[in-house]
Structure 1
């Protein structure tokens, strides 16, 4: 397997599972994974939020863990990475207000590098205007944003994922097995028993 260098973009109140699990899975299979956040450096932390599905009309939100960044955002250049991961939670709505983040996302999309986004992560893709005409899943509350950005919103089960070329999206953390499996396939990663 060719080792890929993958960037995960996060901000405060990124969804806990949606940063922890992909970070661990991608490292477990041997990829190099850098996690960065605007205005933060390696060793700084971001706060996480835990979103849960407890029978209410929408998810609940609780304080999660702190996640230690291993990269300094000001050092990040898209040309140094093979792929991009965008977790959900509250972070994407804030990250979408940072023009440097939007430019970074646009560069990954323009260069047709693999991108994986989950839950509210596709909000960042919508803000960067890179999903028009693409099949995209996201948390159902983001449906209107996806459609307004020109995406073909895919209403799938919460544990499913959608691949459109090198773009892999999913509605929420219960989709990790499908989402990460499809992303690993797009990366060309093969895991053999």
Structure 2
């Protein structure tokens, strides 16, 4: 069974944590949800971001999400893919050197990586987007450009694939985001 590392943290977006985690489990992957300085059984607080006609998303309290693996036990070579949740967590997760080193490992080894919304901030901080085409929440677009990536302005329910990298602007893209990540992972789903 292939293992996927799922990186999240306090005030990650609720849907961008819960939905991909559950979908990947549903199709048969072993998914290790982790957060720096937390261990298996600890929880993170999530935040619900919604699009209600304001100039930016609104934020409401989400759920407590139980981590199922200890960050200190992560060896990136054990994983076939990496998924990074969005929300506010990437703002502080990108300050953790081990998070950046783990992220670089997946790019150095050309393993599948999926990042949604603000999760792309971890990619820009890790220095792995130079010369790559990717999308993000529009407010993160300037960071992509400054880091040497080519920001793709796509609909909020779309996903963009560049080789081993799958990105999407926000949670409305989950069907496309997970479908494209599964393809990059080599999964075969027949109906």
TM-score range, shorter chain: over 0.9
Distance apart, 1:57 and its partner CA: 0.3
Q: Which residue of 2 aligns with 1:56?
A: 54
Per the alignment, residue 123 of structure 2 pairs with: 125
Which residue pairs with 1:21 in the alignment? 19
TM-score between the two structures when normalised by the length of structure 1:
0.98
Alpha-carbon distance in 1 for matches of 2:131, 2:59: 32
After superposition, the C-alpha distances for 1:73-127 in whole angstroms (9 at most, x for unaligned) are 0000101100000010000010011111111111111111100000000000000
Name the structure 2 match of 1:67.
65
Match of 1:46 among 44, 47, 57: 44
Where does residue 168 of structure 1 map in the other structure?
166
Report the 3-state secondary structure (helix = DSSP H, G, I; strand = E; otherwise coil) of the residue aligned with 1:132: coil
Distance 2:58 2:27 in 1: 32
Question: 2:184 is matched with which residue?
Answer: 186
CA distance, structure 2, for counterparts of residue 36 and residue 168 of structure 1: 20
TM-superposed CA distance for 1:191, in Å, is 1.1
Shift of residue 192, structure 1, vs aligned partner: 1.1
Q: 78, 81, 85: which is aligned to 2:79? A: 81
Mapped to 1, the partners of 2:187 and 2:112 lie a distance apart of: 12
- Could you list the runs of 4 or more consecutive aligned residues of structure 1 that deviate by over 4 angstroms after TM superposition? none
Match for residue 151 of structure 1 among 149, 162, 170: 149
Q: Alignment RMSD, CA only?
A: 0.6
| DSSP 3-state at the match of 2:118 | coil
Identify unmatched segments of 5+ residues in structure 2.
none
Whole-angstrom distance in 1 between the partners of 2:42 and 2:179: 30
Tell me the residue number matched to 2:112.
Answer: 114
Corresponding residue for residue 91 of structure 1: 89
Number of aligned residue pairs: give it.
191
